[in-house]
Amino acid sequence: MIWGTLRKLWTQTDGAVAPTVALSMVGLIAAGGLAFDYARLVTMDTELQQAADQAALAAATQLDRSDNAITNATAAVSVSGSNQLALNLTRFSNDSVGRSVSVTLTFCEEFDDSIATNAAACTETTDPNDSRFVIATTALRTANYAFTPIVGLMSGTAQAHAVAGVESSICNVAPLLVCTPSDDFPTEADVGRGIILKTAGGNAWAPGNYGFLDFGNGNPAVINALLGNGLNGCQATDDNETEPGNKNATDAINTRMDVYAGTQKNEASKCTPSTGASCPAENTRKDMTLQMTFEIRVDSSAAAPTPPACGSPEGGNVNSGGKTSYTADFAQHGPARQFGRDSCHYTGTCPVNGGAQNFGDKAWDRDGYLAANHPGIDASAVAAALGGGATASTLTRYQVYQWEIANKATGKLDPRQIGAVTQDPPDTKGSNTTYKFYKQCSFSQPRFATAASAAAKDRRVLPIVAANCDELKGKGTAFEDYIILRAFDIFLTEPSLQRSAAQTGIAGATLGTDDKEIYGEVIGPAKPVGGGNGFQYYTRARPYLIR
């Protein structure tokens, strides 16, 4: 029995592979552990690369060449709160450093993608005005292995890099660039401030100097854009150039106030109300008049006739009811009060910015304007009618302009006689006497063309480009000589005309105006037709990954 059992045990083959299996388990567990831990490492690497990509893109969105560009880009990926554009977390590192992934940013003036290494490809800069590209580098993170230590591997590390830039364009603006006193212009405090946009003198560009943006096809394209609504499509900001202004441009801008003269004499016939191109605004108030002539021949025994009111239709017969006519062009006439300038711009007492006094202080003759154009109504009454926080001391020209349009039905934009009626000596021949009367008439609604439709941007609201011109001398290239900051709206308060101090009609004025100047009141950041935010309408920026 015993011997039989021993013999059977000796010949038994069940479990013969157990030793082999036992020996192979070490390798199997090691392979499984390696797969598990490698997957963890690879996933952590993916996390870090995504973190680097998103951090680079978030930082690139802030590279607008302003003085705060680097500060804003760094804050976008590192400062917690509502301004943080990227929050980077790792779920697969277990190195006790925490979930957050710290990112280091390096800024580049140029980046040569043909060079393999980031450090060699990047022309590093710390100047926010020159920063065009950003390299995001994550901190080195560790994945401590769970099973691989069986075969002697304890941990793996990973780090990620990404490079991004930003493509930006300027869109749908009048091709005018104005130098600003600060990179954050216009702020809320600038709303209502008057600006004299002056052509630059030689190589000196100061705040308030303006130039033309070249959207292609040179000066004719600039003039056509100023006659239209400035809808020039989009152009990459890096491709743009500017040069000082010229008088042809102010002739084009004057058409927005129903002044068709100089190089734009025939533009009234091209007015397209649906788009506003070559058309005047609905409210064209200005310090210009048309002379009305009324000629009538009556029986010498009749009483002297009375001429009709300004705005009476042209035509008629001298011998039957009289004939009315108007001069063909507006002429400057100071007593016809316009919205005008900040008072300090008439006396040379405005604040000095960059060696120039082109930016005013928001103090304009509100009561004088209202007394001349709306007798019996003062700034307090207009402010109360407007509401919305408007006050007599803060009332802007643009607000008064809008109030006039809103109250057009009650005569706020009706033609007005300026000054007294004049006449030639009566001319008596036989039994008839001919009388000829003259009136200076101001017109605050279009005379020579149809007003632009409500679907077009208000023709007296001009979207122009704010720029940092610190390095600009004469003609320049964007981001080499000047930095495009943003688009903003100005209200055109007056036509560009040559006026002596006396011709301004402003008591105490010691300074006149120049026909190459453009005067406007700051409204604020540019808005499209119908209001709303101008984001991605006037300027467009798209961050992109390079590697």
Task: Report pLDDT digits (tens) over 270-313.
Answer: 899 988 889 999 999 999 999 999 999 999 999 999 999 999 99
- Spell out the long-range contacts of 260-266 with Cβ–Cβ below 8 A and sequence spacing 24 or more: 260/329, 260/448, 260/449, 261/329, 261/330, 263/223, 264/227
Task: Read off the pTM.
Answer: 0.77
How far apart are the C-alpha atoms of 537 and 212, rounded to whole Å?
Answer: 20
Cα pseudo-dihedral 402, 488, 456, 379, rounded to 10: 0
Residue 233: exposure state from Cβ atoms within 10 A (0-12, 13-18, ≥19): exposed
Q: What is the model's pLDDT at position 363?
A: 97
How far apart are the C-alpha atoms of 108 and 394, rounded to whole Å?
Answer: 45
How far apart are the C-alpha atoms of 446 and 461, rounded to whole Å?
Answer: 16
pLDDT for residue 534 is more than 60: no
pLDDT for residue 15 is more than 80: no
- Tokens at residue 478, please? 């964007």
Q: How confident is the model at residue 171 (pLDDT cuts 50, 70, 90)?
A: confident
How far apart are the C-alpha atoms of 80 and 70, rounded to whole Å?
Answer: 17
Q: What is the model's pLDDT at position 152?
A: 47
Mapped onto helix, strand or coil, the DSSP state of residue 238 is helix
Could you give the maximum distance between any two Cα atoms of the chain, in Å? 171
152: left (phi over 0), alpha (psi -120 to 50) or beta: left
Question: pLDDT higher for 230 or 59?
Answer: 59
Asked if 180 contacts 212 with a C-beta cutoff of 8 angstroms, the reply is no
Q: Which of 137, 131, 111 is nearest to 70 (CA)?
A: 131
Q: What backbone phi and psi angles, to 5 degrees, belong to 450?
A: -80, 140
State yes or no: cis peptide before 186, omega within 30 of 0: yes
pLDDT for residue 63 is more than 50: yes
pLDDT for residue 200 is more than 80: no
Q: Where are the beta strands (DSSP E) in 190-333?
A: 194-199, 209-213, 234-236, 241-244, 288-299, 315-317, 322-326, 331-332
Among 64-73, 284-293, 395-404, the least confident range? 64-73
- Residue 360 has what DSSP assignment? -
How far apart are the C-alpha atoms of 505 and 500, rounded to whole Å?
Answer: 9
536: left (phi over 0), alpha (psi -120 to 50) or beta: left
| Mean pLDDT across the chain | 84
What is the arithmetic mean of pLDDT over 116-140?
Answer: 89
- Tokens at residue 428, please? 């008596």
**Sign of the torsion formed by the C-alpha atoms of 357, 358, 363 and 364:** positive
Angle, helices 366-373/379-386, rounded to nearest 10 degrees: 90
Among 125-134, 332-341, 465-474, the least confident range? 465-474
- State how far Cα 27 lies from the chain centre: 68
- Tokens at residue 166, please? 């930003």
pLDDT digits (tens, 9 = 90+) for 83-97: 445 555 555 555 556
Residues 6+ apart with CB under 8 A from 481: 469, 471, 472, 473
Q: What is the model's pLDDT at position 86?
A: 54
Question: Residues 163, 165, 171, CA angle at the centre, nearest 5°?
Answer: 165
HSE, side-chain direction, 13 A CA sphere, residue 481: 16
Q: What is the model's pLDDT at position 83?
A: 47
What is the arithmetic mean of pLDDT over 518-542?
Answer: 78
Q: What is the model's pLDDT at position 518?
A: 95
Q: What is the model's pLDDT at position 217?
A: 67
Q: Which of 443, 289, 287, 291 is nearest to 365 (CA)?
A: 287
Q: What is the model's pLDDT at position 149?
A: 54
Among 144-148, 157-161, 254-258, 368-372, the least confident range? 144-148
pLDDT for residue 376 is more than 80: yes
What is the arithmetic mean of pLDDT over 388-415?
Answer: 96
How far apart are the C-alpha atoms of 469 and 524, rounded to whole Å?
Answer: 20
Q: How confident is the model at residue 17 (pLDDT cuts 50, 70, 90)?
A: low
pLDDT for residue 107 is more than 60: yes
Instruction: Fill in the amino acid letter for 135.
Output: I
- Tokens at residue 14, please? 């069940």
Q: What is the model's pLDDT at position 499?
A: 97
- Please spell the DSSP secondary structure of 430-485, one letter per residue: TTEEEEEEEEEEE-SS-SSSPPPPTTSPPTTEEEEEEEE-TT--SSEEBTTTBEEE
- Tokens at residue 110, please? 């140029």
Rounded percentage of the chain residues whose pLDDT exceeds 70: 78
Q: What backbone phi and psi angles, to 5 degrees, belong to 531?
A: 85, -160
Asked if 506 contacts 287 with a C-beta cutoff of 8 angstroms, the reply is no
Mapped onto helix, strand or coil, the DSSP state of residue 349 is coil
- Tokens at residue 377, please? 């109504």
Helices (H), 316-358: 344-347
Asked if 521 contacts 397 with a C-beta cutoff of 8 angstroms, the reply is yes
Q: What is the model's pLDDT at position 82?
A: 46
